[in-house]
Amino acid sequence: MSQVQPASKTLMSYTEVRKLFSAGRLKLRRQKAMTGKKVRAQQATMKSRH
């Protein structure tokens, strides 16, 4: 019993970590997209100024 419990605990933490990791990746992707849009907008404004 005592041997099985820690294994299940690690399994839970593993799934939790995976969830957090995937969420973090999604957040990073969104941030990258946002910054990319901002950079593109800045480049567009720069071009219009020139």
**Distance between CA atoms of 44 and 39, rounded to whole angstroms?**
9
pLDDT at 45: 84
pLDDT at 13: 79
- For 3, which DSSP code? T
pLDDT at 4: 58
pTM: 0.48
Provide the residue-wise pLDDT of the chain in tens; the chain has 50 residues.
456 566 667 676 788 888 988 999 999 999 999 898 898 888 888 887 76
Token pair recorded at residue 9: 């605990």
pLDDT at 22: 92
pLDDT at 50: 66
